[in-house]
């Protein structure tokens, strides 16, 4: 990244800080809301706004935009009310150059979520707004899955852009079955599980929501996993996102879901995830796996950097087993056809040495985490206190805490992978001396990196989330147009 490019990006970031996001403002009426307004005498205009978002929603029509006045113009920029969006194509956003907060109590079970997208809210948007609280969730997408009718869809094509969601009772964002095509862009999610699920609350909890895209976001300080998509979710993508300081895993491709949430018409085998893509993410300081695969079919794991993950359980790259409530009809299939290339694993001295682990259990007649061998190559594994170890617990394997050389033989692959010290900056970017530079493969790899820079910059693609650019002044994420957080 040269100096001119840095200056251009800074100019763009500052410019977008004064806009409602990168997407064009939807056409339709602009309905204004202010903490200094009135639902009685106001008319929803800029000069005479309503007082509450809830009232504005009662007069809004599909295609309308509800504009929230906020700081620094208003001293009080907090709207203390739960929000329920019940019509399609409704946008709620902060006024240009301002910042509004929607806040709900975290200890009132009558307010299950702070912002709710109902089943008829297709195409709606929440942009440049902060959401705090909710007994269960900060934001929830609702579904008709269990209504008993033939239509089991939920809220579709929802956009959450430039939002902050935090201090929630359970997960920050909940996606229920059939809520397809959610996009989460430039979001910051943190401090989950304050009350209801203090030890099991994710940044994003997606159960069978297809084609979810999470990009350019920052998920941190979650009581459990940063995010997962499970229950048969198809074609989900997580890219250019930093996940750190989690009580569970970083990203789980699939996990463990009750059988009633699977769509057996398209997924009769009960795969937890189908065609999930994880690329260009930096994941660090997790208690469980950096990236875990559970009953994942055709997963693609490309150019991720995992730093000090799996500190108390699993391994940085982990193949796990779903039990699906131990129900007799459930499938519990192994992961199949995964591709894991150009990934970088770094473990500090004192952390467990297992870098890849494939699980097996004798329960339920014997269950394997993986079918066949994974397509793994061009990866870098390093442990500062010794050597990375590799285990395959399946009955056909004798590899237990094996060396990298033994792993290569066992796998019949990883011939282009290495165990060199990766030479990283504190935030996971490559130093000029890194052996990961030009050591990856470009065929199949993403064409950009975690910062949006082009791949490749040199003779070949680099290993890890960052593509090193000679002469770069700095290289780090910009998570939100309004807030730049420099990693410690």
pLDDT in tens, 19-67: 333 333 334 679 999 999 999 999 999 999 999 999 999 999 999 999 9
CB 469 within 8 A of CB 475: yes
Share of the chain above pLDDT 70, in %: 91
Residues 438-470: tens digit of each pLDDT: 999 999 999 999 999 999 999 999 999 999 998
- 28 or 485, higher pLDDT: 28
d(Cα 136, Cα 138) in Å, to the nearest integer?
A: 7
Q: Which residues contact 371 (CB under 8 A, 6 or more apart)?
A: 333, 334, 335, 336
CB 480 within 8 A of CB 128: no
pLDDT at 198: 85
Give the pair of three-digit tokens for residue 234: 């198809």
CB 179 within 8 A of CB 156: yes
Region of 474 on the Ramachandran plot (φ > 0 left; ψ -120 to 50 alpha; else beta):
beta
Q: What's the sign of the alpha-carbon dihedral 244, 386, 441, 317? A: negative
Indicate whether 109 pLDDT > 50: yes
**Which residue in 259, 331, 340 sits closest to 295, CA to CA?**
331
pLDDT band at 197 (very low <50, low <70, confident <90, very high): confident
pLDDT band at 478 (very low <50, low <70, confident <90, very high): very low
d(Cα 416, Cα 338) in Å, to the nearest integer?
A: 17
pTM of the model: 0.92
Q: Cα separations (Å) of 247 from 166, 287, 309, 475, 488?
A: 15, 5, 11, 27, 19
pLDDT at 29: 74
Place of tokens 């999470």: 214
pLDDT at 99: 98
* Element housing 10 (H / E): helix 3-16
Indicate whether 274 pLDDT > 70: yes
pLDDT at 28: 65
The Cα diameter of the chain in Å comes to 76
pLDDT at 13: 38
SS3 state at 32: strand
Indicate whether 473 pLDDT > 60: no
The mean pLDDT of the chain is 92
Q: Cα separations (Å) of 45 from 20, 100, 372?
A: 18, 17, 63
Residues 70-95: tens digit of each pLDDT: 999 999 999 999 999 999 999 999 99
**Which residue in 345, 323, 350 sits closest to 334, CA to CA?**
323
d(Cα 341, Cα 344) in Å, to the nearest integer?
A: 9
Q: Which residues contact 149 (CB under 8 A, 6 or more apart)?
A: none
**Which residue in 206, 208, 217 sits closest to 239, CA to CA?**
217
Pairing of strands 65-68, 113-117: unpaired
pLDDT at 7: 38
Q: Kindly list the structural domains of the chain, giving each domain's residue range(s) and its CATH number in brackets, ordered by start.
A: 3-411 (2.160.20.10)
- Burial category of 11 from C-beta neighbours within 10 Å (exposed 0-12, middle 13-18, buried 19 and up): exposed
Pairing of strands 78-79, 100-103: parallel
């Amino acid at each position: 990244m040269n100096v001119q490019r840095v200056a251009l990006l800074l100019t763009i970031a500052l410019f977008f800080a004064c806009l409602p996001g990168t997407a064009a403002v939807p056409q339709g009426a602009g309905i204004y809301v202010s903490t200094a307004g009135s639902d009685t005498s106001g008319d929803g205009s800029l000069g005479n706004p309503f007082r509450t978002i809830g009232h504005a929603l009662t007069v809004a029509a599909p295609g309308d935009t509800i504009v929230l006045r906020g700081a620094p113009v208003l001293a009080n920029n907090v709207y203390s009310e739960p929000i329920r969006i019940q019509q399609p194509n409704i946008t709620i956003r902060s006024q240009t150059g301002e910042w509004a907060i929607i806040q709900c109590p975290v200890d009132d079970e009558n307010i299950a979520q702070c912002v709710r997208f109902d089943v008829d809210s297709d195409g709606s948007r929440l942009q440049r707004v902060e959401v705090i609280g909710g007994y269960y969730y900060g934001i929830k997408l609702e579904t008709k899955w269990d209504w008993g009718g033939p239509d089991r869809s939920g809220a579709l094509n929802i956009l959450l852009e430039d939002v902050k969601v935090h201090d929630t009772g359970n997960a920050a964002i909940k996606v229920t079955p059939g809520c397809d095509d959610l996009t989460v862009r430039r979001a910051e999610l943190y401090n989950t599980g304050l009350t209801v699920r203090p030890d099991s609350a994710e940044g994003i909890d997606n159960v069978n929501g297809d084609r979810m895209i999470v990009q350019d976001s920052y998920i941190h300080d979650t009581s459990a996993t940063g995010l997962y998509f499970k229950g048969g979710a198809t074609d989900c993508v997580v890219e250019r996102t930093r996940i750190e300081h989690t009580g569970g895993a970083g990203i789980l491709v699939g996990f463990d879901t009750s059988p009633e949430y699977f769509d057996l018409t398209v997924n009769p085998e009960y795969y937890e995830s189908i065609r999930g893509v994880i690329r260009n993410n930096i994941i660090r300081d997790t208690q469980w796996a950096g990236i875990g695969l559970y009953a994942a079919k055709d997963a693609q794991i490309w150019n991720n950097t995992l730093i000090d993950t799996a500190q108390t359980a699993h391994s940085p790259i982990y193949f796990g087993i779903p039990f699906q409530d131990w129900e007799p009809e459930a499938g519990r299939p192994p992961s199949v056809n995964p591709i894991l290339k150009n990934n970088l694993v770094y473990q500090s001295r004192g952390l467990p040495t297992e870098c890849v682990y494939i699980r097996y259990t004798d329960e339920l007649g014997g269950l394997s985490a993986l079918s066949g061998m994974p397509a793994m190559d061009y990866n870098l594994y390093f442990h500062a206190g010794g050597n990375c170890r590799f285990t395959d617990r399946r009955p056909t394997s004798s590899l237990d805490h094996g060396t990298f050389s033994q792993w290569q033989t066992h796998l019949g692959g990883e011939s282009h992978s290495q165990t060199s010290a990766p030479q990283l900056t504190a935030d996971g970017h490559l130093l000029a001396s890194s052996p990961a530079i030009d050591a990856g493969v470009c065929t199949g790899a993403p064409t950009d990196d975690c910062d949006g820079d082009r791949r490749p910059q040199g003779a070949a693609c680099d290993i890890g989330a960052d593509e090193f650019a000679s002469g770069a002044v700095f290289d780090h994420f910009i998570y939100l147009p309004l807030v730049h957080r420099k990693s410690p």
